[in-house]
Structure formats: C-alpha cells, structure tokens
Amino acid sequence: MELEVSAEAKDKRLNRLIAMTIVTLSVFIALCHIKDENTVQAMERSEAHAIDTWNEYQANKTKLHLAENSRVQLAVLAAPGKADAALARLDHDIGKYTAQTPMLADAARAHEADYDRLRLHHDQFDAADAAITTAISLAAVSALLEMAALLWVGWGFAAFGLFMGFEGFVGGSLHPALLSTLLG
C-alpha cells in the first residue's frame, strides 16, 4: 500500500494569504521586539536611578540625624559662646539636609513613576508578541490543513496583537491587565 503525498496545494489563494499574513506579522513583531528591548533598557535605567536616589535620600536622612544629634550634644556639652561657629555650621547642614530630603524623595518617586509608565508599554509589547505568535501558528496550521477558518481565527489574534503593538509604539494607555495577570 503506497501513500502518495502531494506537495501542491489545492487553494493557491489561501496559501498566498497565509504567506502575506506570516510575512507581515513577522516584520511587525520584529519591530515590536526592537522597541520592546529599548523599553526594557529604559526601565532598567529608571529602576537604577530610583534605587540610587532612594539611597541618596537615606544617606541624606542619616546625615541629618547625625547633624541634629551632634548639635544637641555640642549645645549641651560646650561652654557658652565657645561652640557658636560649630553650631552655626551644624544649623546650616541641618537646613541643607532638611531642604534636600523632600526633593530626593520626589525625584525617586518620579523615577518609579517612569518605570511604571514604561512597564505598561512593555506589557503591551508582550501581549502583541503572544497574540501575533499565536496568529502565525494558526496560519501555519491552516496551510497544513488547508482550512481558511483557521486563518480567520489567526487574523483575529493578529488584529489584537497589531492593536497592542501599536498601543506600545504610540504610548497608548490600554493595559492588557487580564493577560498580564494570567501570564505574569
């Protein structure tokens, strides 16, 4: 019993649609990947800046605490009039640290907010990647089975993936929360 397999497809139109779909989606997902990698690098920079700024905030608070304690000790232990210059320097330092502390906290929070903004776009690119990969897989299976219905389902996934990818590119605010929760 011989089985003959034909490499020729019955519906060339279907194969052309599948080929155009795969090429288009592959190019788009490659562009999304480049943009997503840049987004991830920016996220890493924002996170590093936030950590550095929070560390500077903590150091500033420690210096403030030490200056305040030093001032109290000097005021208590020094003879009257003998430590005025040192007390003035400590008062200046205390004022400087007190002024810097809220600015550092605000800067650290701004870096964290930037990270969160970038994370949204990273999630959008992840959703685009998942949907478009599924669409490409469905297109490949539709070519093997010569089923146009599978290609239509793939196009549905592709539409969602293209939409999420465009959201990532233009800085849209739609977040694939359910998908991120399920996969994250």
| pLDDT tens per residue, range 112-138 | 999 999 999 999 999 999 999 999 999
Per residue in 49-58, pLDDT (tens digit) is 999 999 999 9
- Residue pLDDT, tens place only, 131-173: 999 999 999 999 999 899 999 999 999 999 999 999 999 988 8
Which structure tokens are listed for 111?
């870096």
Cβ contacts of residue 131 below 8 Å, gap of 6+?
157, 158, 160, 161, 164
pTM for this model (two decimals) = 0.77
